[in-house]
């Protein structure tokens, strides 16, 4: 992940609206934000960042 994408991902990661939408995907806000995420580079970057975090935590468990 390049530095620009990482910066965008961290902005989304710290956004209260985005966090609410990720934690409550069944709500109207969650559904709108999920749709919006198809186009948003910050939302896409945050999803990639989350995958990297899961992958790293999985690697640490195997050690």
| Total tally of structural domains belonging to the chain | 1
User: Higher model confidence: residue 3 or residue 63?
Assistant: 3
The per-residue pLDDT for range 10-34, each reduced to its tens digit, is 999 999 999 999 999 999 999 999 9
CB of 18 closer than 8 Å to CB of 46 = yes
Confidence of residue 2 (pLDDT cuts 50, 70, 90): confident
- Structural domain boundaries, residue 58: 3-62
What are the Cα distances from residue 63, in Å, to 7, 17, 50? Answer: 29, 36, 20
The b/e string for 18-36 (b: 16+ C-beta within 10 A; e otherwise) is: beebbeeeeeeeeeebeee
């Amino acid at each position: 992940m390049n530095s620009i994408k990482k910066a965008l991902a961290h902005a989304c990661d710290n956004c209260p609206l985005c966090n609410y939408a990720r934690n409550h995907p069944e709500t109207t806000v969650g559904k709108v934000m999920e749709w919006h995420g198809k186009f948003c580079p910050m939302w896409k970057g945050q999803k990639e960042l989350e995958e990297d975090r899961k992958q790293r935590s999985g690697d640490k468990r195997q050690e």
